[in-house]
């Protein structure tokens, strides 16, 4: 091997590389021929979650394949970590891949994916959006068209220990008094309120849960409204003035908050319904778990933050009809009820909240109530950036490094530049 | 052959540890020397404690239930675990089939290490000894390649692998991991070879060996500390990767260990630290054994009296 | 031999011109050289060529993948001017530089101490060597999470230890303060990386033949003198390698910060790599992200060049 040869190899590689860049740069045609739903085909479904959720998805898929013997579904298992999941999905989209055909998408992504041309409009399939809870459908809309269908729903609410707090609080001020009273009553309690304060997306939803009760609304063009500032002030005071929440919340995510509640260390917790399922497994909170929307203050309404997953179809997929059939199957009431019973994922369809489900897991009654009040985060293609600014603001306030009004007005001006730029 | 460490003797006898010859006479030091000895061993103890205490924590976490993990030192026993349970381990092996990712990681890391050691030794030797025009430029390139941000590489490489149909396959990872291992291995070995005096080689050549034989019989044994160090570094660098693995591997059967650990340690909201830590314990023990075995080879290659 | 043994006492490499056998031999040697170096170059090129070109190309174009069918127009240096003018980038650069200097300095000193310790023959040396490599065997994802837990004010060990030793700061919420977050990140980073530097320095120490020390001792040099005048210069090559790589790793730090603080509190622990990641993932602006990546490489090169210059081995006369 001589140096010249090595150089030629290098140039060859370079040439290939440039060609690949150019090829990747050129997009493919916009209209792709679709395979008919009745033909034999395999579709790829990308979803996260192993363990119980994965098993339940597998079971649902098997049911679907039995009902539609000509369609085979292959599952692409992506990371259970939401940021990594997003990364993996985006890589596939950017690569112009026609798979996965069906994908699971967090409620905050559809607008972004739609604007980027990565998922296709489902309007042509005439989805019946009225069958869902009122606020869910909005998360999947873009420019007036439906791009994603709600799969399961996760409204965040306020958990409380029914043995320590016999009547649930009816105002935010009462949450404080109840928390203090409970802390005096039970020495096992380390704090009165636990919530997610780490610098990540979960901080935005736990904050959002308290926004409506103060008359606020999380919209991109009015982030620093009086109501929003009041809500953040309440949370800040909970840590530093009323001292019902520990400073440690700055490092807490859903898992830690859940542990605090199910281990009996906290009287109140802002978290998702899964906590009820874990509490029922054992511990001081077993049989003593209450779940309500965050109580409304004067001029506000009960608060809950909308989370959950939706289903969408890849814009480059050639199996859209079959993919839509899978979506319809997965969101059907019976399949959703079965999933709820097995995994605790709350159904997105009110019809799936059956008496049988309530008998098995009574907390779904409270989840149904939460769903009526669940507020979405700003539905915008730039939501991820909006969220990044919000996260910095929240983290700064919880660390006592900024005032709530100061942090939110900084975030508001940053978001304004976004919308303009 | 006499016991004298002459250059000729060294040329054919692989270097061994000289440590044994230099053992100090066995009498207890006193006065300042005693204080210094005690301080020294105290430092050693602190170093071991700092290195291993977090691992103790990992071990402890792996033997606890999730609720106990959350309590940490706040539990009733403080530093010691309150209850021991092997549920995390059984979960790892039975439900999560951890053996497969372990094997995948081993294949990839060993593959990358083998390639690295051979290729970097050759290149390091050449850059240190042979008259290459543009050696500086080549070294600079090797450095850039090592410091191109991984985050910026993942996207384009995903595109490339997709075109070449190399996704969801552990073997291409061996080549990709070279980006972590080759730069530092090459630089390290180049410096090593530079430090080995030419006399050793030239003595061997005078004795009639060919350049490659001289390389094998004299230079490599003497450079053994460098080669083993490079090998260990390469192995651990390749083993620890998460970013590339998470981007290029799709089915659980092909996952590497770091990827599998993160995946089965998490459901949507809950993190099962005990399962993750059990997996880490499982991984670390063979690596620790490997290192314990290999570290004996990281000894001085140059012996007393080689330059009289 | 004098007590001030310099590298000159041990020939490093004869001047290139004086080859045995004259020109023909030299050419053959050169060809052999290229052949031996080729595999490294080709393998690295295979992996990095496309990403390099991809990012470089993107950095001169408008490539925002969040907007469908947007033409990738050529915009010259716009991405770069935007970057240099953004306070976000500048403050991230400052933070990253500060972290790099502090962490490399502290870690190298600790590692040097550790390496010197390990170079001495004592009982249990093998065990210590294996022990210090354990931190390295733990995947960064896990060790960063572990340290995050360690610094938790309630369940973590750090506050527990401080309280037990009656030292101040036993109730700190480490990750809620700017300086304390950096301290926590530094500890987590050092735990993992001091062994890395130590093992390179150890290998460097072991190449130094023992009679160098003996000669110094015979000449009456003290421990510190012999260290400074002889060990340190002979350790220069190993130190150089360790410093270059460790500095560049510190400069590109990402994992430990992402996991421990997510860039918080506020934005106070966001480094350049974090910014890079955010640009790629959150705003999917591959043009701007490409520029940031390219600039990271350029700065890395500058740092490496500085090191090579400063730690240049003395040339034999």
Which residues are paired to A72 by β-bridges? A42
Model confidence at C12: pLDDT above 60: no
How close, in Å, is residue A243 to chain B by CA atoms?
A: 20
Share of chain C above pLDDT 90, in %: 27
Among C154, C184, C280, the strongest candidate for a mutation testing the A interface, having the largest count of A CBs within 10 A, is: C154
The CA distance from B23 to C169, in Å, is 45
Residue A28 lies in a domain: no
Decide which of C72 and A232 is more confident: A232
- Same domain membership, residue A134 and residue A123: yes
Report the SS3 class of residue B25: coil
Residue B163 lies in a domain: yes
Question: How many CA atoms lie within 13 Å of C277's alpha carbon, on the beta-carbon side?
Answer: 22
> CATH number for the C55-65+73-310 domain, one of 3.40.50.2300, 3.30.70.260, 1.10.1200.10, 1.10.3720.10?
1.10.3720.10
**Structural domains of chain A, count:** 2
- Same domain membership, residue A223 and residue A101: no
Contact C19 B131 (CB under 8 A): yes
Q: What is the pLDDT of residue A352?
A: 93
Average pLDDT of span C203-214: 76
- Chain C contact partners (≥3 CB pairs within 8 A): A, B
Structure tokens belonging to residue B88: 């995390």
Say which residues have a Cβ less than 8 Å from residue A35's Cβ, sequence separation at least 6: A41, A318, A319, A321, A322
Question: How many CA atoms lie within 13 Å of A160's alpha carbon, on the beta-carbon side?
Answer: 26
Q: What is the pLDDT of residue A17?
A: 47
For residue B11, the surrounding DSSP H or E stretch is helix B7-12
Contact A77 B162 (CB under 8 A): no
Chain C residues near residue A117 by CB distance under 8 angstroms: 68-69
- Same domain membership, residue A50 and residue A199: no
Chain C residues near residue B142 by CB distance under 8 angstroms: 40-41, 44
Structure tokens belonging to residue C40: 């490294």
Chain B residues near residue C142 by CB distance under 8 angstroms: 58, 258, 261, 276-277, 280
How close, in Å, is residue C237 to chain B by CA atoms?
A: 6
Nearest to A24 among B70, B154, B159 (CB): B159
CATH code: domain of residue B291: 1.10.3720.10
How close, in Å, is residue C267 to chain A by CA atoms?
A: 6
Decide which of B80 and A247 is more confident: A247
Residues B242-271: tens digit of each pLDDT: 889 988 988 888 889 888 887 777 777 778
Question: A83, A192, A88, A140: which is closest to A331 by C-alpha?
Answer: A140
Q: How many residues does chain C have?
A: 317
pLDDT band at A7, cuts 50/70/90?
A: very low
Structure tokens belonging to residue C22: 């004259």
Q: What phi-psi label fits residue B97: left (phi over 0), alpha (psi between -120 and 50 degrees) or beta?
A: left
Which chain A residue is nearest to residue B242, measuring alpha carbons?
Answer: A84
Q: What is the pLDDT of residue C213?
A: 73
Q: What is the pLDDT of residue A387?
A: 95
Which chain A residue is nearest to residue B252, measuring alpha carbons?
Answer: A77
Question: B305, A187, A379, A151: which is closest to C209 by C-alpha?
Answer: B305
Burial readout C270-288 (b: 16 or more C-beta within 10 A, e: otherwise):
bbbbbbbbbbbbbbbbbbb
Among A77, A106, A272, A345, the strongest candidate for a mutation testing the B interface, having the largest count of B CBs within 10 A, is: A77
Contact A17 C282 (CB under 8 A): no
* Phi, psi angle pair for B119, to nearest 5°: -65, -45
By mean pLDDT, which of A62-71, A266-275, B93-102 is the weakest? B93-102
Which chain B residue is nearest to residue A19, measuring alpha carbons?
Answer: B160
- Same domain membership, residue A384 and residue A322: no
Chain B residues near residue C203 by CB distance under 8 angstroms: 188, 192, 225-226, 229, 298
How close, in Å, is residue B67 to chain C by CA atoms?
A: 11
**Structural domains of chain B, count:** 1
Report the SS3 class of residue B78: coil
The CA distance from A277 to A345, in Å, is 10
Report the SS3 class of residue C56: helix
- Same domain membership, residue A318 and residue A293: no
Decide which of B130 and A65 is more confident: A65
B94 at interface of A, judged by CB pairs closer than 8 A: no
Residue A286 lies in a domain: yes
Residue B253 lies in a domain: yes
- What does pLDDT average to over chain C? 82
Q: Give ∠ CA B174-B179-B183 in degrees, rounded to 5.
A: 125
Model confidence at B83: pLDDT above 80: no
Model confidence at C8: pLDDT above 50: no
- Same domain membership, residue A242 and residue A165: yes
Which chain B residue is nearest to residue C246, measuring alpha carbons?
Answer: B184
Nearest to A263 among B70, B154, B262 (CB): B70
How close, in Å, is residue B270 to chain A by CA atoms?
A: 5
Which residues are paired to A309 by β-bridges? A106, A152
Nearest to C134 among B55, B131, B194 (CB): B55
Q: What is the pLDDT of residue C214?
A: 75
Question: B286, B281, B261: which is closest to B271 by C-alpha?
Answer: B261
Question: C13, C136, A27: which is closest to B288 by C-alpha?
Answer: C136
- Chain A contact partners (≥3 CB pairs within 8 A): B, C
Contact B236 C136 (CB under 8 A): yes
Residues B236-249: tens digit of each pLDDT: 888 888 889 988 98
Which is it for the CA torsion C173, C179, C181, C187, positive or negative? negative
Among A399, A403, A404, A421, the strongest candidate for a mutation testing the C interface, having the largest count of C CBs within 10 A, is: A399
Average pLDDT of span A359-363: 92
- Same domain membership, residue A176 and residue A53: no
Contact A283 B270 (CB under 8 A): no
Residues A281-309: tens digit of each pLDDT: 888 999 999 999 999 999 999 999 999 99
Which residues are paired to A160 by β-bridges? A268, A290
B165 at interface of A, judged by CB pairs closer than 8 A: no
- Same domain membership, residue A291 and residue A161: yes
Residues C228-270: tens digit of each pLDDT: 777 788 888 888 888 888 998 899 998 899 888 888 788 899 9
The CA distance from B160 to B39, in Å, is 56
Model confidence at B80: pLDDT above 80: no
Torsion (CA) B178, B181, B183, B185 in degrees, nearest 10: -130
- Same domain membership, residue A247 and residue A355: no
Nearest to B70 among A48, A254, A256 (CB): A256
Say which residues have a Cβ less than 8 Å from residue A73's Cβ, sequence separation at least 6: A42, A43, A44, A45, A61, A64, A65, A326
Q: What is the pLDDT of residue C170?
A: 76
- Same domain membership, residue A168 and residue A234: yes
Contact A51 B252 (CB under 8 A): no
Residue A26 lies in a domain: no
Decide which of A80 and A104 is more confident: A104
Model confidence at C96: pLDDT above 60: yes
pLDDT band at B72, cuts 50/70/90?
A: confident
Chain C residues near residue B120 by CB distance under 8 angstroms: 40
B138 at interface of A, judged by CB pairs closer than 8 A: no
- Same domain membership, residue A187 and residue A84: no
Report the SS3 class of residue B107: helix
The CA distance from B265 to A95, in Å, is 29
Which residues are paired to A119 by β-bridges? A314
Q: What is the pLDDT of residue A104?
A: 95
For residue A308, the surrounding DSSP H or E stretch is strand A304-313
CB count in 10 Å sphere of residue B186: 30
- Same domain membership, residue A271 and residue A189: yes
Average pLDDT of span B12-25: 46
Contact C124 B70 (CB under 8 A): no
Model confidence at B107: pLDDT above 70: yes
Structure tokens belonging to residue A39: 């033909």
Q: Give ∠ CA C112-C118-C119 in degrees, rounded to 5.
A: 90
Q: What is the pLDDT of residue C23?
A: 64
Contact B266 A80 (CB under 8 A): yes
Range of the domain at A318: 41-153+307-364
Range of the domain at B273: 86-295
Share of chain A above pLDDT 90, in %: 75
Which chain C residue is nearest to residue A199, measuring alpha carbons?
Answer: C262
Cβ–Cβ < 8 Å for A197, A273: no
A186 at interface of B, judged by CB pairs closer than 8 A: no
C54: cis peptide before it, omega within 30°?
A: no
Residues A24-76: tens digit of each pLDDT: 444 443 456 888 888 899 999 998 866 778 888 999 999 999 999 999 999 88
Model confidence at A8: pLDDT above 70: no
Q: What is the pLDDT of residue A354?
A: 93
CATH code: domain of residue A92: 3.40.190.10
């Amino acid at each position: 091997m001589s140096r010249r040869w090595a150089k030629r190899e290098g140039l060859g590689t370079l040439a290939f590389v440039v060609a690949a860049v150019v090829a990747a740069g050129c997009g493919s045609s916009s209209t792709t021929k679709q395979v008919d739903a009745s033909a034999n085909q395999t579709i790829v479904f990308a979803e996260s979650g192993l363990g119980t959720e994965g098993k339940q998805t597998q079971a649902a898929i098997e049911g679907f394949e039995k009902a539609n013997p000509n369609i085979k579904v292959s599952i692409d298992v992506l990371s259970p970590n939401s940021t990594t999941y997003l990364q993996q999905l985006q890589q596939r989209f950017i690569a112009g891949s026609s798979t996965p055909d069906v994908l699971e998408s967090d409620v905050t992504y559809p607008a972004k994916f739609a604007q980027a041309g990565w998922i296709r409009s489902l309007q042509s399939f005439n989805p019946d959006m009225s069958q869902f809870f009122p606020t869910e459908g909005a998360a999947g809309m873009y420019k007036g068209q439906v791009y994603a269908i709600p799969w399961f729903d996760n409204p965040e609410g306020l958990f409380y220990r029914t043995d320590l707090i016999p009547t649930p609080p009816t105002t935010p001020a009462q949450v404080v008094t109840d928390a203090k009273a409970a802390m005096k009553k039970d020495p096992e309690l380390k704090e009165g309120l636990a919530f997610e304060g780490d610098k990540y997306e979960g901080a935005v939803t736990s904050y959002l849960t308290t926004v409506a009760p103060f008359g606020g609304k999380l919209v991109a063009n009015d982030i620093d409204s009086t109501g929003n500032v009041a809500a953040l002030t309440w949370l800040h005071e909970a840590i530093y003035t009323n001292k019902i929440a520990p400073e440690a919340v700055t490092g807490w995510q859903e898992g830690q908050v859940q542990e605090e509640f199910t281990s009996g260390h906290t009287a109140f917790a802002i978290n998702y319904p899964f906590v009820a399922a874990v509490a029922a497994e054992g511990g001081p909170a077993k049989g003593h778990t209450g779940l309500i929307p965050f109580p409304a203050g004067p001029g506000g309404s009960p608060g809950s933050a909308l989370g959950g997953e939706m289903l969408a179809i890849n814009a480059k997929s050639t199996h859209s009809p079959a993919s839509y059939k899978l979506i319809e199957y997965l969101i059907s009431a019976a399949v959703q009820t079965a999933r709820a019973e097995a995994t605790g994922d709350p159904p997105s369809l009110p019809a799936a909240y059956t008496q049988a489900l309530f008998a098995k897991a009574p907390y779904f009654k409270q989840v149904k109530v939460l769903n009526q009040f669940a507020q979405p985060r700003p539905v915008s293609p730039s939501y991820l950036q909006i969220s990044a600014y919000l996260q910095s603001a929240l983290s700064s306030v919880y660390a006592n490094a900024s005032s709530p009004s100061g942090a939110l007005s900084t975030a508001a001006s940053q978001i304004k530049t976004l919308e303009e730029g | 052959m006499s016991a004298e460490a002459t250059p000729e003797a060294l040329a054919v006898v692989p270097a061994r540890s000289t440590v044994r010859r230099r053992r100090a006479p066995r009498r207890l030091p006193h006065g300042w020397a005693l204080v210094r000895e005690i301080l020294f061993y105290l430092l050693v103890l602190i170093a071991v404690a700092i290195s291993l205490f977090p691992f103790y924590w990992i071990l402890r976490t792996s033997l606890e239930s999730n609720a106990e993990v959350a309590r940490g030192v706040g539990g009733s026993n403080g530093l010691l675990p309150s209850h021991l349970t092997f549920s995390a381990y059984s979960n790892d092996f039975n439900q999560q089939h951890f053996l497969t990712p372990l094997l995948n990681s081993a294949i990839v890391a060993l593959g990358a290490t083998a390639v690295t050691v051979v290729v970097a030794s050759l290149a390091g030797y050449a850059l240190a000894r042979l008259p290459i025009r543009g050696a500086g430029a080549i070294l600079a390139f090797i450095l850039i390649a090592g410091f191109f941000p991984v985050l910026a590489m993942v996207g384009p490489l995903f595109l490339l692998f997709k075109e070449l149909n190399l996704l969801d396959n552990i073997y291409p990872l061996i080549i990709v991991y070279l980006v972590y291992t080759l730069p530092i291995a090459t630089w390290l070995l180049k410096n090593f070879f530079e430090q080995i005096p030419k006399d050793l080689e030239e003595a061997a050549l005078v004795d009639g060996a060919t350049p490659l034989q001289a390389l094998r019989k004299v230079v490599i044994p003497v450079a053994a500390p460098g080669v083993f160090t490079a090998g260990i570094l390469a192995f651990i660098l390749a083993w620890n990767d998460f970013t590339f693995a998470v981007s290029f591997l799709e089915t659980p059967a092909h996952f590497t260990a770091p990827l599998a650990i993160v995946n089965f340690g998490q459901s949507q909201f809950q993190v099962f630290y005990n399962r993750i830590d059990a997996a880490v314990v499982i991984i670390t023990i063979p690596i620790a054994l490997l290192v314990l075995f290999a570290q004996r080879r990281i000894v001085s290659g140059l012996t007393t009296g080689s330059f009289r | 031999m004098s007590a001030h043994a310099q590298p000159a006492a041990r020939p490093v490499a004869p001047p290139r011109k004086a080859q045995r056998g004259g020109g023909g031999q030299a050419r053959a040697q050169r060809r052999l050289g290229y052949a031996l170096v080729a595999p490294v170059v080709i393998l690295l090129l295979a992996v990095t060529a496309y990403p390099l070109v991809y990012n470089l190309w993107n950095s001169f174009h408008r490539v925002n993948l969040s907007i469908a069918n947007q033409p990738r127009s050529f915009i010259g240096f716009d991405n770069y001017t935007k970057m240099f003018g953004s306070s976000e980038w500048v403050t991230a650069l400052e933070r990253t530089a500060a972290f790099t200097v502090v962490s490399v300095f502290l870690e190298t000193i600790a590692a040097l101490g550790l390496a010197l310790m390990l170079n001495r023959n004592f009982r249990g040396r093998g065990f210590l060597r294996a022990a210090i490599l354990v931190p390295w065997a733990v995947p960064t994802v896990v060790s960063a999470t572990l340290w995050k837990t360690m610094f938790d004010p309630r369940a973590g060990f750090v506050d527990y230890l401080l309280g037990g030793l009656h030292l101040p700061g036993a109730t700190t919420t480490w990750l809620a303060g700017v300086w304390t977050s950096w301290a926590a990140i530094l500890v987590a980073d050092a735990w993992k990386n001091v062994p890395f530097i130590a093992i390179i320095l150890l290998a460097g120490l072991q190449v130094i033949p023992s009679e160098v020390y003996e000669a110094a001792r015979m000449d009456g040099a003290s421990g510190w003198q012999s260290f400074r005048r002889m060990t340190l210069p002979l350790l220069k090559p190993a130190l150089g390698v360790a410093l270059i790589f460790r500095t560049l790793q510190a400069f590109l730090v990402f994992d430990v910060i992402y996991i421990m603080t997510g860039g918080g509190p506020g934005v106070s622990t966001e480094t350049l790599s974090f910014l890079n990641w955010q640009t790629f993932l959150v705003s999917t602006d591959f043009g701007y992200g490409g520029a940031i990546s390219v600039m990271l490489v350029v700065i890395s090169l500058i740092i490496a060049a500085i090191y090579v210059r400063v730690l240049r081995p003395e040339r034999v006369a």
